[in-house]
Amino acid sequence: MKPHTAYRRLVRGVFCLHRSSSQRIAAMLVTLSLAVFPLGVSAATRTPPPTGAHVYLLRGVLNIFSLGLDEIAAKLRAQGIPVTVANFVSWSSLADEAAAEYRKGGLRNIILVGHSSGATALPDMVARLGQLGVPVKLAIGLDSVFRTKLAGHAERYINFYVASGAGEPVTPTKDFHGALENIDVQSVPGVGHLSIDKSQIMQQRVISAIDAVVFSRRKEVVARHRQSPEPSASEQTANRPEASASARD
């Protein structure tokens, strides 16, 4: 039996338990793993940057196979981007949290990243946010462990998968609104199911896609400001209160 086949069966079993409402069992499993491998759920400051963005990263089974997401999170925080890292079983509560922040007006760009079971949970999170009337700006899956169907609203959904391994493409439904890209990365050196999140090449591809979203609006604002002509001396004089008063006299 190939190693990825055994791993895939393990992941499928845990994920299916979760999706069939056996959340208590999954929670006990995760709690047990935390005793040995602390989750280290972390979030950057609650105050969003000018772009109003927040990145949610979902780990896979037992929190021990997706530690590359922690490296991605550290690199994003270094750029001032708020980040939350959590296990995939938290996707529903994270969706509710993101929706609440979106309604307050402080969060505009919701970005999701998941590895393994975390990638498999992304379509569920997108659909949940869609039900709450909240769009997803960008979602990136890293080798979803079995074929999933996509609904809801994601402006851009990128599914990186290893066709020769455990990964599967994502299939859009008629209820999906947005752009979906299934990208086979089996030719990327050193990339497999358990290493795709740790690959420096793949991490850079993920971060570049996120940066394009987070900093594009900031660049547009700066560009518009630079293109706006400075008021002339006569216009500045005319706009001064004393000048207006003199004109009335």
d(CA 227, CA 181): 35
Please give the span between the terminal C-alpha atoms of the chain, in angstroms, as a whole number.
Answer: 94
pLDDT digit string (tens) for 211-225? 999 997 555 545 544
Percent of the chain topping pLDDT 90: 60
Distance, in Å, from the CA atom of 97 to the CA atom of 91, rounded to the nearest integer, reads 10
Give 191-211 pLDDT, tens digit per residue: 999 999 999 999 999 999 999
- Residue 246 falls within a domain, yes or no? no
Rounded to the nearest integer, the mean pLDDT of the chain is 79
201 domain-assigned:
yes
Binned at pLDDT 50, 70 and 90, residue 237 comes out as very low
Say if 182 falls within a structural domain: yes
Q: Is 248 within a domain?
A: no
State the pLDDT at residue 23.
47
Residue 76 CA to residue 55 CA, distance in Å, equals: 9
**152: in domain:** yes
The reply to whether 245 falls in a domain is no
Q: Is residue 237 part of a domain?
A: no
H or E segment and range at residue 121: helix 117-131
With respect to residue 249, please indicate whether it lies within any of the assigned structural domains: no
Residue 182 predicted with pLDDT over 90 = yes
* The total number of structural domains that make up the chain: 1
Do 89 and 26 meet the contact criterion of CB atoms below 8 Å apart? yes
Residue that wins the pLDDT comparison between 132 and 230 = 132
The predicted structure's pLDDT at residue 220: 54
Q: Tokens 């609104």 map to which residue?
A: 177
Q: How many residues does the chain have?
A: 249
- Domain of 220, in residue numbers: 3-229
Give yes or no for a contact between 126 and 153, defined as CB atoms under 8 angstroms apart.
Answer: yes
Asked whether the whole model's pTM tops 0.85, one would answer no
Tokens of 221: 């604002």
Question: 111, 210 in Cβ contact below 8 A?
Answer: yes
pLDDT of residue 231: 47
> What's the CATH code of the domain at 192?
3.40.50.1820
Output 233 or 164, whichever has higher pLDDT. 164
pLDDT digits (tens, 9 = 90+) for 88-105: 999 999 999 999 999 999
